[in-house]
Structure 1
Amino acid sequence: MIVVEDLHKSFGNVEILKGISTVFDKGKTNLIIGQSGSGKTVFLKSLLGLHTPDQGKIIYDGKVYSELNDDEKRNLRQEMGMVFQGSALFDSMNVEENVMFPLKMFTHKEYDEMKERVDFVLKRVNLKNAHTKYPAELSGGMQKRVAIARAIVNNPKYLFCDEPNSGLDPKTAILIDNLIQEITKEYDITTVINTHDMNSVMEIGEKIIFLKDGHKEWEGTNNEIFKTNNEAVTNFVYSSDLFKKVRQMYIEERN
């Protein structure tokens, strides 16, 4: 679980995050949504410890990040997995080497033990025969699965995903969403996903935070988002005719 209390962050005279408070639950897919410039990226980077908040607290399972010493912060970061937008694989490394990289960086395991763990996570993301392939030889969906395998290879407590469906076709995006949700529940991870993909919101949005101009404008589930009367949320989510029709069908079914 990650608890956020009254988070503020400014760059120069520009305040980006304006007092955000929320809870990201363990074992659930927690989504951050909002328009460009709403503060999503700064919020995610603050959760990762890449930005230092000006005010407020981020608490990881009872540990207040700002109160940790350098060694404790380093240990906490090792409990975090990250799936970057665009996958961010090393082009000069094959799949096995990419996935093994965090193990080499953060553990003292013997090669055979690391190899066994890499084999396990690649099998888990349905890539058990891709060890020797290089990123350029993989489809976009396969690259994302390698990125997920690398993110979970160290058994993280916290999984962060930045636009995991960026650049993927709708069918592959659904597969990636389902994989992230399955892994979240299987390993009881606190997963936080920064996304603009409304299909992800509807499919796996167990907890949704909607940001607007640096504020938490709304929060709820993918079922509750259909029922909200918050104008900012409805304008954002139902900007397309398709989602307007989906919402209307949802309302009619429950009346």
Structure 2
Amino acid sequence: MIEIKNLHKSFKGETILDGIDATFDRGKTNMIIGASGSGKSVFLKNMLGLFKPDSGEIIYDNERLSEMDENRQKELRENMGMLFQHSALFDSMTVEENVMFPLRMFTKMRRKERQERANDILQRVNLENLNKKKPSEISGGQQKRVALARAVVNKPAYLFCDEPNSGLDPKTATVIDNLIQELTHEANITTVIISHDMNSVLEIGETIIFLKDGKIAWKGTNKEIFKTENEAVTDFVYSSELFRKVRIAQNKGL
């Protein structure tokens, strides 16, 4: 579990995060949504320790990030998985080598053990036959699955996903969503997802926070978001064609 208490962050006098309070539960897909400029990326970077908050606390399973020494912060980072918006695979490495990379960096496994673990997780994401391919030789959706495999191969306690469906077609995006949720449940991971994709919100938004102007304007689930009367939320989510259709169907009692 990750707890956020009264988090503030400003740059050059401009307030980006203005008193954020949130809880991200273990074993759930926790989503952060909001318009561009609402503070999502800065929020994520504070949780990752890339930015230092001006005030407030970030607490990982009862440990305050601000009180961790350098060694403990290093241990925490080793227990994190990160799925980047554009996959961020190493072009010079094969699929297998990309997935093995965190194991080589953060464990003392022998190469054979690393290969076995990498192949296990590649099989889990249905890519067992692409081990020796380079990223340039596989599709965008396959690259995203490789990136997800790399993010979870080290069996992290915390998984962060930054726009995991960026650039993917709806069918492939649903595959990625379902894989993230399945792996989260199976390994009891605390998963935090930044997304603009309202399809993802509908599919896997077990807990959702909506940011507006650096504040949490709404909290709930993918079921509750359809019922909210919060104008800021409805203006944002019903700009999606999918959500408009769902609201119309609900109003008709379908």
TM-score grouping bracket, smaller chain normalisation: over 0.9
Letter in 1 for 2:145: R
CA positional deviation for 1:61: 0.7
**Is 1:134 matched with 2:134?**
yes
SS in 1 for 2:168: coil
- Equivalent residue runs for 1:167-186 within 5 Å: 167-186=167-186
Letter in 2 for 1:144: K
**Counterpart for residue 81 of structure 1:** 81
In terms of mean alpha carbon deviation, does 243-252 or 146-155 score higher?
243-252
Aligned residues of 1:227 and 1:251 also touching (Cα < 8 A): no
CA positional deviation for 1:242: 4.2
Aligned residues of 1:226 and 1:250 also touching (Cα < 8 A): no
The percent identity for this pair of structures is 65
**Is 1:208 matched with 2:208?**
yes
Alpha-carbon distance in structure 1 between the residues aligned to 2:112 and 2:132: 17
Alpha-carbon distance in structure 1 between the residues aligned to 2:62 and 2:195: 27
CA RMSD of aligned residues (A): 1.1
**Counterpart for residue 91 of structure 2:** 91
Alpha-carbon distance in structure 1 between the residues aligned to 2:160 and 2:36: 19
Aligned residues of 2:198 and 2:242 also touching (Cα < 8 A): no
Cα distance change of structure 1 residues 113 and 77 upon mapping to structure 2, 3 Å threshold: same
Letter in 1 for 2:200: S
Aligned residues of 1:4 and 1:59 also touching (Cα < 8 A): yes
Letter in 2 for 1:91: D
SS in 2 for 1:59: strand
1:57-78 C-alpha deviation (Å, 9 max, x unpaired):
1111111101000000000011
Alpha-carbon distance in structure 2 between the residues aligned to 1:249 and 1:51: 43
CA positional deviation for 1:15: 1.0
**Counterpart for residue 13 of structure 2:** 13
Alpha-carbon distance in structure 1 between the residues aligned to 2:44 and 2:131: 31
Aligned residues of 1:16 and 1:213 also touching (Cα < 8 A): yes
Letter in 2 for 1:31: M
Aligned residues of 2:31 and 2:192 also touching (Cα < 8 A): yes
**Counterpart for residue 3 of structure 2:** 3
Alpha-carbon distance in structure 2 between the residues aligned to 1:77 and 1:118: 20
In terms of mean alpha carbon deviation, does 245-254 or 74-83 score higher?
245-254
Q: Where does the alignment leave 5 or more consecutive residues of structure 2 unmatched?
A: none
CA positional deviation for 1:12: 1.4
Scaled by the length of structure 2, the TM-score of the pair is 0.98
Alpha-carbon distance in structure 2 between the residues aligned to 1:121 and 1:241: 35
CA positional deviation for 1:241: 4.8
**Counterpart for residue 102 of structure 1:** 102
**Is 1:119 matched with 2:123?**
no
Alpha-carbon distance in structure 2 between the residues aligned to 1:245 and 1:169: 19
Letter in 1 for 2:147: A
**Counterpart for residue 31 of structure 1:** 31
Scaled by the length of structure 1, the TM-score of the pair is 0.97
